[in-house]
Amino acid sequence: MQRKKKMLETDIFMAKFDETVDSTTEDKFEERRAGLHRLN
């Protein structure tokens, strides 16, 4: 069960990472980057 939770957390982080990298503006990038930092 713990392994599945960790895998889910990793999948969520990677999806948000991809979204951050694909940001179309610097403001959006910074907003999303801050969200990634909070996930860590």
Instruction: Please state the pTM of the whole predicted model.
Output: 0.80
**Rounded to whole angstroms, how far apart are CA atoms 2 and 15?**
20
pLDDT for position 1: 86
Which tokens is 23 given?
């940001």
Place of tokens 């960790």: 6
pLDDT for position 40: 79
Q: Are 32 and 16 in contact (CB under 8 A)?
A: yes
Domain count, the chain: 1
pLDDT for position 39: 86
**7-20 residues labelled b (16+ CB within 10 A) or e (exposed):** eeeeeeeeeeeeeb
Domain extent, residue 12, equals 1-39
Residues 6, 37, 20, CA angle at the centre, nearest 5°? 90
What is the full per-residue pLDDT of the chain (40 aa) written as tens digits?
A: 899 999 999 999 999 999 999 999 999 999 999 999 998 7
